[in-house]
A and B are shown apart, each in its own frame.
Chain A
Amino acid sequence: EPEVTQTPSHQVTQMGQEVILRCVPISNHLYFYWYRQILGQKVEFLVSFYNNEISEKSEIFDDQFSVERPDGSNFTLKIRSTKLEDSAMYFCASNYGISYEQYFGPGTRLTVT
């Protein structure tokens, strides 16, 4: 069964450093998403992406964040200058486009020290 994959599973970085989180969505899916989950809290929407552009973003997704689909398979989230409060689990999800279901990857745990 096709799955969303994410790398790395755990990333530790120092405050102020740039990080790139990577995702490979399900191959025939057209919509891609990033969500984050701070430890013990609810999953929060960050951004959605379709046809090589952002279709929707939340208040959390400020100028420090960017997304890209650099090739036909990868979807990345970049945080330019990490802060302590960026420490969270980041989930990538994808959607086929004509249905509602979103399928989530296993997540990347980002720890900012």
Chain B
Amino acid sequence: GENVEQHPSTLSVQEGDSAVIKCTYSDSASNYFPWYKQELGKGPQLIIDIRSNVGEKKDQRIAVTLNKTAKHFSLHITETQPEDSAVYFCAASERSQGNLIFGKGTKLSVKP
């Protein structure tokens, strides 16, 4: 079955710097890759996603890139702010409505 690896497990940056979180997946049939932000005591919140027919997607300060050949995808956050501090999870799925396989998460700390 699918396995998703996520690095790093913790990431500390200064406010205004960029943050990059990387994930790899094992199943070439996976074609949907969402990123979730989880704040303390809350459920995962979908922040951006990408499908396998697209190489990059941007939404304001957040971007996701996908390399299907290498089976990896990354989350890029520019101009980080303290409110970006949270745990970020990547995930993969083979199809719409299919179950999500999650990475282990990255705890991002943005220092003012």
Residues of A within 8 A of B (CB): 4, 6, 31, 33, 35, 41-45, 48, 50, 55-56, 58, 91, 95, 97-107
Q: A42-B103, A45-B101 are in contact. Are A98 and B96 (CB under 8 A)?
A: yes
Partner among B93, B96, B102 whose Cβ is within 8 Å of the Cβ of A43: B102
Query: Hey, which chain A residues are within 8 Å of B44, CB to CB?
Result: 43, 91, 104
Residues of B within 8 A of A (CB): 32, 34, 36, 41-46, 49, 51, 89, 91, 93, 96-105
Q: Is the CB of A91 within 8 A of B102?
A: no
Q: Is the CB of B46 within 8 A of A103?
A: yes
Q: Is the CB of A102 within 8 A of B43?
A: no
Query: Hey, which chain A residues are within 8 Å of B51, CB to CB?
Result: 100
| 3 tightest A-B CB contacts, nearest first | A45-B99, A104-B43, A43-B102
Q: Is the CB of A101 within 8 A of B97?
A: no
Please, how many angstroms separate the alpha-carbon atoms of A4 and B42 in the complex? Answer: 12
- Nearest residue (CB) in A for B4 is A42
Q: Is the CB of A48 within 8 A of B97?
A: yes
- Nearest residue (CB) in B for A58 is B99
Query: Hey, which chain B residues are within 8 Å of A50, CB to CB?
Result: 97
- Nearest residue (CB) in A for B103 is A42
Chain B nearest CB from A38 CB (Å) reads 12
Q: Is the CB of A102 within 8 A of B104?
A: no
Q: What are 17 A-B interface contacts by the 8 Å CB criterion?
A: A4-B43, A6-B43, A31-B97, A35-B100, A42-B105, A43-B102, A48-B99, A56-B98, A58-B99, A97-B97, A99-B96, A100-B51, A100-B96, A104-B46, A106-B42, A106-B43, A107-B42
Please, how many angstroms separate the alpha-carbon atoms of A99 and B34 in the complex? Answer: 12
- Nearest residue (CB) in A for B46 is A101
Please, how many angstroms separate the alpha-carbon atoms of A45 and B100 in the complex? Answer: 7
Chain B nearest CB from A103 CB (Å) reads 7
